Amino acid sequence: MIRFRTFAIVFAPAYAVLYALAVFNNWALFTYAPATGEFGPLLTPATAGPSMYWYGWIATAALGGGALAGLCAFLPESVTRRMPACLTWGVPIVVILVFGYLLRGYFLR
């Protein structure tokens, strides 16, 4: 049960930070073209219509956060007991506030 607790405490903030990095740096694992219904690897240019990177950003953050949390789940219990559980909510809330600030132009028109 301690390993799952550690995984959850590390995954939530890692996912949030990696998602923000993926959006800002456009690190998409794949691209989806809704007009043609095709998926392409990494940043594939669109053949018809716009491309969507959002799914790729989610996959990038999920794989990176899962890998980091999986590694941290096997740390010794003496280390994992010192991990503050408030990071599970605190970091994602800060990332949401950062996105809200950056997108404020869309909300304040």
How far is the C-alpha of 99 from the C-alpha of 109, rounded, in Å? 17
How far is the C-alpha of 59 from the C-alpha of 72, rounded, in Å? 20
pLDDT band at 60 (very low <50, low <70, confident <90, very high): very high
* Per-residue pLDDT at 57: 94
Average pLDDT over residues 69-87: 87
How far is the C-alpha of 29 from the C-alpha of 53, rounded, in Å? 8
- 46, pLDDT greater than 80: no
Please count the helices (runs of H) and the strands (runs of E) in the chain. 5, 2
How far is the C-alpha of 78 from the C-alpha of 57, rounded, in Å? 34
- 96, pLDDT greater than 80: yes
- 66, pLDDT greater than 90: yes
Highest mean pLDDT among 42-56, 58-72, 73-87 belongs to 58-72
- 61, pLDDT greater than 90: yes
